[in-house]
Structure 1
Amino acid sequence: MRWRLFGQKRTRMSKAFTIIVFTVLTAIFSVSCSRNSDVLVTEVGVSPPSRRSAKTSKAEKFYLQGQAQHVKGNSQAAIASYTKAISLNLEYGAAYRSRGLARFDTGDKQGAIADYNQALRINANDAEAYNNRGNARASLGDNKTAIEDYNEAIRLASNYAEAYNNRGNARAAQGDRKGAIDDYSQAIRLTPNYAIAYNNRGNARAANGDPQGAIADYNEAIRLNPNFAPAYNNRGNARAVNGDKAGALKDLQQAAAIFQRQDNKDLYQQVMNNIQELK
């Protein structure tokens, strides 16, 4: 029986099952770069607009306008606003970094990398730019270079839980399951309510032949975020591997219901296909 799940890499768990786990990166605001299940899904950070004085420069006004547009999901408008901010201040590192996030969201990963490069030219100590460039490189399959970026982000900000989580994703993609588990564990130590890191560590443990450890992590991810559909989906697969067909079916049905409420037709259909296979 083959299971079609979501995301990054097919991992052999037993002779009976081939599982593709849904692995996510993390930051503040969730924006998916693609609905194609073969593309790495990531969450990219967009800081909410902050209050500024009446003396805020014109460039800063365009920058804040771009942030507000990106938060609302209008990435193209955000790119235009960030571009105007940059045209008024060519050394505006934060605007380059934010435009990189918006470009990544539209699927322009090379454009995003070019913007992160500019942000790092202006400020070589910008840990967030290293982390985000790592995300873009990982989404292009360049996990080796992505890990170098995450390493630099962690060197600059040792408590950067997101960078540990993201490096764990890249290590998992390279087959370094122990390194991935170590990174997810460190992310969880730094941020104990990090549901995504629990989910990702569960994926790594499942791939490492530890379905019970995986289920424990998925349990915690669901406790922290009861609407985390991928964790239900992944726990369902781990339960199926563990011989718990009833528990697996219940989890897959819950994942399908959440994806349906979210109007995510692609992932809903994939879970429904899994349910039919399980039956």
Structure 2
Amino acid sequence: MSDLWRLFLSVIIAFSLTFLTLPAYSSPILITQITAGDFFELGVDKMRRGDYQEAIETFNQAIELEKNYAVAYSDRCLGYLQLQDYHQAVTDCTQAINFAPDNFEAYLNRGLAHYRQGDYPAAIVDHNRALALKPYDFRAYYNRGLARAGEGKDFEAILDFNLALTQIKRISSLLLADIYNDRGLAHLVLQNTQAAMLDFNLAIRLNANDYRAYFNRGCACGRNKDDFGAVRDFSQVIRLNPSNAQAYVNRGVARYRLGYHQGAMSDLQKASEYFENQGKRVAYAKTLDLLKSLRQQISFATEIALF
């Protein structure tokens, strides 16, 4: 029975009882007004359930009732971050900071929004401000490390990742895996392959389903001329993320070096198809060029072998 049908029946019953009892006066109807805080709590609950658009709309209602509700702006920013609307996320966090200059979460979230926009200097400024408010929060160190890596300051990024690891209070294996993976990537950029491999191994041990760590370790194996290891890791990436075109390219190159030419050509062909389907025209064209070049080399090597 629908809610509307139940409501209709309840009205009929109440009406018939009124005729039977004929009260001399009516009971007062109590109306409870919904506050901005009520909308805020409802918005937080929707965020936890992953209903980001609904959460934003609920935070809108809270802000309509209370224009200077700083934490509502800050939390609405999280919804926009999840929906990849980084411009609006920055706007909301800025408003939150205007109303509450000591809002740590607003600086942290605005820094993340700047990072996602590729504005690494602004991200670092916000994370510095966040750390001035809470010097022991690992998230600000980790996020600042990501921004520094984005700027190409990988040595400073490693220092931040180290600080993040020392400040974590509640150990989360997935979170630790992320930090080790990103620190390993910074080591790899600095051509410290041994340290990078150690970090990628730790990341994979903590999270065996993190395809990024396998991808990065595969790249490190490639630099070490360990093509068997590279094929192993890129195969894991493809198992966990079957549409990862770059993993097909990298595995194809490693297979070519090992002399598995048919497998290499198959991987590059698959990569070109994924790049085309994903609308990545430049990567698609480069993969086709690589495929053509390797085919020519195989053909040339075959001709030499015949003579």
Q: Same fold (TM over 0.5)?
A: yes
Higher Rg of the two aligned structures: 2
Tell me the residue number matched to 1:74. 85
Q: Go from structure 1 to structure 2 and tell me whether the alpha carbon gap of 1:269 and 1:206 turns closer, same or farther (over 3 Å shift).
A: same
Tell me the residue number matched to 2:47. 49
1:104 aligns with 2:115: yes
The whole-number CA distance in structure 2 between the counterparts of 1:215 and 1:144 is 29
Tell me the residue number matched to 1:9. none
From 73, 98, 119, the equivalent of 2:130 is 119
Shift of 1:122: 1.5
From 193, 196, 199, the equivalent of 2:215 is 199
Shift of 1:170: 0.7
Q: Secondary structure at the match of 1:49?
A: helix
The whole-number CA distance in structure 2 between the counterparts of 1:73 and 1:265 is 23
Equivalent residue runs for 1:87-98 within 5 Å = 87-98=98-109
Q: Go from structure 1 to structure 2 and tell me whether the alpha carbon gap of 1:268 and 1:130 turns closer, same or farther (over 3 Å shift).
A: farther
The whole-number CA distance in structure 2 between the counterparts of 1:94 and 1:270 is 42
Tell me the residue number matched to 1:138. 149
Tell me the residue number matched to 2:237. 221
From 277, 288, 292, the equivalent of 1:276 is 292
Tell me the residue number matched to 1:129. 140
The whole-number CA distance in structure 1 between the counterparts of 2:283 and 2:82 is 23
Equivalent residue runs for 1:166-245 within 5 Å = 166-245=182-261
> What is the TM-score of this pair, normalised by structure 1?
0.77
Shift of 1:229: 2.1
Q: Secondary structure at the match of 2:135?
A: coil
Q: Go from structure 1 to structure 2 and tell me whether the alpha carbon gap of 1:127 and 1:273 turns closer, same or farther (over 3 Å shift).
A: farther
Percent sequence identity is 36
Count residues in correspondence.
232
Tell me the residue number matched to 1:8. none
Q: Which has the higher contact order (CA 8 A, sep 6+)?
A: 1
Over the residues paired in the alignment, what is the CA RMSD in angstroms? 2.2
Tell me the residue number matched to 2:94. 83
Letter in 2 for 1:149: D
1:258 aligns with 2:256: no
Which is further off, 187-196 or 154-163?
154-163
Which structure carries more helix by proportion?
2
Letter in 2 for 1:87: N
Q: Go from structure 1 to structure 2 and tell me whether the alpha carbon gap of 1:86 and 1:202 turns closer, same or farther (over 3 Å shift).
A: same
Q: Which runs of 5+ in 2 are unaligned?
A: 1-45, 50-54, 296-307
Q: Go from structure 1 to structure 2 and tell me whether the alpha carbon gap of 1:259 and 1:86 turns closer, same or farther (over 3 Å shift).
A: farther
Shift of 1:186: 0.3
The whole-number CA distance in structure 1 between the counterparts of 2:287 and 2:108 is 35
Shift of 1:217: 0.9
